[in-house]
Chain A
Amino acid sequence: MQLTLGPVLYNWQPRQWRDFYFRMAEESPVDVAVIGEIVCSKRSPFFAEHMSAVIERLVACGKQVVLGSLILVSLKRERQQMAELAANTDFMVEANDLTCLGTLADRPHAIGPFVNIYNEATAFYFARRGAQRICLPPELPMESIRTIATALPDVTTEVFAFGRVPLAISARCYHARLHKLSKDNCRFVCEKDPDGLALATLDGEPFLAMNGVQTMSHACANLLGEIGDLAASGVGALRLSPQQCDMVAVARIFRDVIDGKRTYDDGMRDLSVIYPDVPFANGFIHGEPGAVFIPNHASANSRMRQPQIGDAVQ
């Protein structure tokens, strides 16, 4: 099972963004890295100057580089950007809506979690037209994931396994609105919240996180306990979405649990040390409210059990 580093969804400082990828390239066990600004086109120019260096480093370290497209494309300038992105033939493009699919179709490409692939017929439609990797929408339950992954054995089916879950996209910038600024003159206030701006209920209970035009979950997706089921269902990759924590360590934990080198319990304990203060959630995959976390006791037990003499002949 592969590990994919999802694109940075927040407005990080460009040098921090660059250094993050340098370190992930050199030290983390991710197989694929999706890069590029996909949330807000106004942020793109800041990262552009570091893009080629980041790509170069990722490639040099043996990572597959995939370029992500914008989630919501409405301006002429954005369409032009997407046309240029789709015209590149050096790297696979991950389409996050259908804007560049007309250009990408019939050559290998990836489809991101913001394209609504809820069933095997839709997945098959895109696979027949060149989609080789499909990251499914985060709200899909396990049965749907299994049905799609099983129906498409030649496509790498991926699920969103770590990070605050992107829940919605809007034309309106909530960060700008909160700071009483217009979207056109936003002063890039979202850069003040590189891990999302915490939004709580009136009871003070943490609920969501704002990220400019995007709304994220407060809780952090964590499918560590579902790795066994996902692998058995034909899922070929787990997506780790960058947060302000040691993502190298996060990737190592997922790698180790996939490879059976770390127990689920140890992995959970280590993750909560690396990314403290944010609750974990896996409700979507269990068909429950997405904010819920259901510990995997079965996984914990089976993974904690040491191999016994006689196992091979049972």
Chain B
Amino acid sequence: MELICPAGTPAALRAAVDAGADAVYCGFRDETNARNFPGLNFSAEELKAGIAYAYNHGVRVLVAINTFARAGALDVWERAVDAAADAGADALIIADVGVLDYAARRYPDQRLHLSVQAAAANPDAIDYYVKAFGVRRVVLPRVLSVPEIAAITCDVSCETEVFVFGGLCVMEEGRCSLSSYATGQSPNMNGVCSPASHVHYREQDGQLISRLGAFTVNKFATGEPAGYPTLCKGRFQTEHGAGYLFEDPVSLDATTMLPDLQRAGVTALKIEGRQRGRAYIERVVRNFRRILSELEDGVAAASGDLVALTEGQSTTAGAYRKSWR
């Protein structure tokens, strides 16, 4: 199985390459990619240099152009496709049908991957993209169990890629407007979720209160570790009580399920985290490379192998285990 690693900066790209990635994925420094955070991402020149570095080490580069193009501004997304193709990207990761259509017509030989943001969760939906745009690989939404992934992989006429580590969307990706409901900024339109620009912390009555836009997302007692107020991992209340009603502040760790994913026929494993620093990327990629090497020798990773890397967060195998639902 290929190891697909995040690169939010040229330094992180080099770190991922050096640590044993089979491919790195990155995006341009604008609204065309779903990690449009300040201080992150690549210019066209940086992408070219990054691709050159990766090639010298036998590593591929995938470029994520995976937000939904703004009406009347298609040219911004089309120029991103042009720049990535021109730089020699091994594949473009796209979610928007209009952008896919452009890329497939303008660059018929360019390898296209369907972004997780397209939310294609079954063989019929996936094959629509394969037939329409010649998509060669689909990144599966984090709503599927491993048996479902196996069935899809068996049924579809393209490769499958799954997330195995890092941030966990609780909602189906590409179909969530929680962030824009509170802040006006969404993953689909702006490439951001629960953006830091709209986060406020304040102390009140011995509690630390985290807010997103006009809404309180969590309250922490003194000494309780305060997580980032991502909406779906906040604490809320109903008439049945208060708590983490959508999901605890967990991250995804599917290392113990790697043998199952391998048997399922999955082509590539993806690590989330383009917003992460170089040191983190280096450690996660190096550990995953070791785990995959051991897997080839028939040694399955133990639970908790990567706990030290999750920065104090607890982890879950998410929807990969059916009981998560």
Interface residues of B in 6-26 (CB under 8 A from A): none
| A139-B186, A148-B71 as given contacts; A172 in contact with B124, CB under 8 Å | no
Contact at B245–A170, with CB atoms within 8 Å?
no
Are A173 and B177 in contact (CB-based, < 8 A)? Answer: no
With A143-B71, A178-B245, A183-B325 in contact, is A116–B180 under 8 Å at CB? Answer: no
CB-CB nearest in chain A for B148? A74
* A169 touching B98, Cβ below 8 Å: no
Which residue of A is nearest B232, CB measured?
A168
A119-B72, A169-B171, A170-B170 are known contacts. Are A290 and B180 too (CB-CB below 8 A)? yes
Interchain CA distance A67-B178 in the complex, whole Å: 27
Q: How far is the CB of A304 from chain B (nearest CB, A)?
A: 30
CB distance A178 to B180 under 8 Å?
A: no
Contact A289 B184 (CB under 8 A): yes
Minimal beta-carbon separation of B288 from chain A (angstroms): 25
User: Which residues of chain B are near A102, meaning CB under 8 Å?
Assistant: 124, 127-128, 131
If A197-B238, A289-B183 touch, whether A172 touches B71 (CB-CB below 8 Å) is no
CB pair B238–A210 under 8 Å, yes or no, is yes
**B55 near A: Cβ within 8 Å?**
no
Residues of A104-145 at the interface with B, using a CB-CB cut-off of 8 Å, are: 114, 116-126, 137-140, 143-145
Question: In whole Å, how far is A182's beta carbon from the nearest beta carbon of chain B?
Answer: 7
Contacts of B186 in A (CB 8 A): 139
Chain B: CB-nearest residue to A128: B101
When the two chains form the complex, which single residue of B182, B213, B240 contacts A178, counting CB atoms closer than 8 Å? B240
Q: Within 8 Å of chain A (Cβ to Cβ): is B235?
A: yes
Measured CB to CB, the closest approach of chain A to B86, in angstroms, equals 21
Complex interface: chain B residues within 8 A of A97 (CB)? 119, 121, 125
Q: Is B172's beta carbon under 8 Å from chain A?
A: yes
Residues of chain A within 8 A of B214, CB atoms compared: 289, 291
Is B319 an interface residue, CB under 8 A from the partner?
Answer: yes
Closest to A203 in B: B216
Does more than half of chain A's interface fall in helix, strand or loop, or is it mixed? mixed
Residue of A nearest to B129 (CB): A98
Closest chain A CB from B119 CB (angstroms): 7
State A177–B69 Cα separation when bound (angstroms).
35
Bound together, the chains give a CA A221 to CA B319 distance in angstroms of 31
Residue contact B143 to A120, C-beta cutoff 8 Å = no
**A174 interfacial by beta-carbon distance below 8 Å:** yes
* Complex Cα–Cα for A143 and B182 (A): 20
Cβ of A175 to closest chain B Cβ, rounded Å: 10
Answer whether A79 and B123 are a contact pair too, CB < 8 Å, given A74-B148, A139-B177, A172-B325: yes
Residues on A with C-beta less than 8 A from B218 are 202
Check: B219 CB closer than 8 A to any chain A CB.
Answer: yes
Chain B window 53-87, contacts with chain A (Cβ cutoff 8 Å), 1 for yes, 0 for no: 00000000000000011111110000000000000
Tell me if B236 and A208 are in contact (CB < 8 A). Answer: yes
Please determine whether A74 and B72 come into contact, CB atoms closer than 8 angstroms: no
Task: Determine if B109 is an interface residue (Cβ-Cβ < 8 Å).
Answer: no
Residue of A74, A210, A289 near B180 (CB, 8 A) is: A289
Q: How far is the CA of A119 from the CA of B232 in the complex (A)?
A: 27
Residue on A with the closest CB to B98? A121
Which single member of A119, A126, A174, A283 contacts B74 (CB below 8 Å)?
A119
Residues of B within 8 A of A300 (CB): none
- Report A99 CB to chain B, min CB distance, Å: 5
Q: Which of A174, A203, A210, A287 contacts B184 (CB 8 A)?
A: A287
Contact yes or no, B189 A139, CB < 8 A: yes
Q: Are A119 and B184 in contact (CB under 8 A)?
A: no
The residue on A at minimum CB distance from B169 is A170
Chain B: which residue is nearest A149 at the CB level? B71
User: A288 contacts B125, CB within 8 Å?
Assistant: no
- Assuming the contacts A177-B245, A182-B323, asked whether A167 and B143 have C-beta atoms less than 8 A apart, the reply is no
Tell me whether A73 and B124 are in contact (CB under 8 A): yes
Do B124 and A171 touch (CB < 8 A)?
no
Give the nearest-CB partner of B243 in chain A.
Answer: A178
Of A71, A184, A208, A283, chain B has the most CB atoms within 10 Å of the CB of A208
Asked if A268 is at the interface (CB within 8 A of a chain B CB), the reply is no
Question: Which A residues from 146 to 199 make CB contacts under 8 A with B?
Answer: 147-148, 165, 167-174, 176-179, 182-184, 197-199
How far does the Cβ of A38 sit from chain B's closest Cβ, in whole Å? 13
Q: Does B107 contact A (CB under 8 A)?
A: no
B residues in contact with A72, CB < 8 Å: 119, 121, 143, 172, 175
In the complex, B308 has a CB within 8 A of chain A: no
Contact status B68-A119, CB under 8 Å: yes
Q: Which chain A positions have C-beta within 8 A of B127?
A: 102
Q: In the complex, A73 Cα to B98 Cα: how many Å? A: 22
Q: Within the complex, what minimum Cβ distance (angstroms) separates A214 from chain B?
A: 10
- Chain A residues lying within 8 Å of B121, measured Cβ to Cβ, are 72-74, 97
Q: Is A5 an interface residue (CB 8 A)?
A: no
Mark out the residues of chain B between 168 and 197 whose CB falls within 8 Å of any chain A CB in the assembled complex.
Answer: 170-172, 174-178, 180-184, 186, 188-189
Interface centre among B73, B178, B219 (most CB of A within 10 A): B178
Q: In whole angstroms, what is the CA distance A75 to B232 when docked? A: 24
CA distance A79 to B152 in the complex (A): 12
A200 part of interface (Cβ distance < 8 Å): yes
Q: Mark A225-253, 1 if CB is under 8 A from B, else 0.
A: 00000000000000000000000000000
Which residues of A approach B to under 8 Å, CB–CB?
A: 71-76, 78-79, 82-83, 97-102, 114, 116-126, 137-140, 143-145, 147-148, 165, 167-174, 176-179, 182-184, 197-205, 207-208, 210, 215, 217, 283-284, 287-291
The 5 nearest A-B residue pairs measured at CB: A121-B98, A171-B143, A118-B68, A122-B98, A144-B71
Q: Knowing that A116-B119, A121-B102, A202-B236 are A-B contacts, what are 11 other residue pairs whose CB atoms are under 8 Å apart, sorted by A's residue number?
A: A72-B172, A102-B127, A118-B71, A126-B97, A143-B71, A167-B176, A168-B177, A170-B170, A287-B184, A289-B184, A291-B214
8 A-B residue pairs with Cβ-Cβ distance under 8 Å, sorted by A, are: A74-B143, A101-B128, A122-B69, A147-B72, A182-B323, A202-B242, A204-B237, A290-B181
